Amino acid sequence: MAKVILFLVAASVIVAVAWLLAGIPGQVVASIGSFTIETSTPVAILAVAVLVVAILVLLGLLRGLWNIPRIGVTWRRRHRAEAGERAVTRVLVALAAGEQGPARKEARQARKLLGESPQTLLLTAEAGRLAGREDEAEEAFRALTNQAGASFLGFRGLLRQAVDRKDWTEALMLARQAEAAHPGTAWLRQQRAELALQTGNWAEALELTGPDPNRPTYYVAAADAEPDPARALAFAKQAWKQAPDFVPGVLAYATRLRAAGSEKRAQACVLEAWKRSPHPDLAAFALAPLTDPLARAQAAKRLAATNAANPESRILLARTALDAGLTGEARHQLEAAQADGVRQRRLSSILAELEEQERGDTEAGRLAQREALRQAAAADPDPHWQCTSCHAGVAAWQPKCPTCGKAGTIQWQSDRRPSGWQCTSCHAGVAAWQPKCPTCGKAGTIQWQSDRRPSGLSVVAA
Ligand SMILES: [Zn+2]
pLDDT by 10-residue block (mean), the chain, 462 residues:
86 83 80 83 86 94 91 92 94 95 94 92 95 94 93 94 91 92 89 88 89 92 93 95 94 95 95 94 95 95 92 95 93 92 88 84 80 80 91 92 91 72 84 90 85 37 32
- pLDDT reported for residue 419: 67
- pLDDT reported for residue 243: 92
Dist. CA 394 → ligand 1 center (Å): 9
- pLDDT reported for residue 460: 33
Let me know: does 408 contact 213? Beta carbons within 8 Å: yes
Dist. CA 147 → ligand 1 center (Å): 41
| Spatial CA neighbour of 259 closest among 294, 292, 224 | 224
Dist. CA 399 → ligand 1 center (Å): 11
Handedness of CA 208, 210, 216, 217 (dihedral sign): negative
- pLDDT reported for residue 362: 80
Dist. CA 217 → ligand 1 center (Å): 15
- pLDDT reported for residue 427: 80
- pLDDT reported for residue 113: 93
- pLDDT reported for residue 418: 57
- pLDDT reported for residue 63: 92
- pLDDT reported for residue 17: 79
- Delineate the domains of the chain, giving CATH numbers in brackets: 228-378 (1.25.40.10)
Dist. CA 223 → ligand 1 center (Å): 22
- pLDDT reported for residue 112: 93
Dist. CA 398 → ligand 1 center (Å): 11
Dist. CA 409 → ligand 1 center (Å): 7
pTM: 0.67
Dist. CA 384 → ligand 1 center (Å): 14
Dist. CA 310 → ligand 1 center (Å): 29
Dist. CA 244 → ligand 1 center (Å): 24
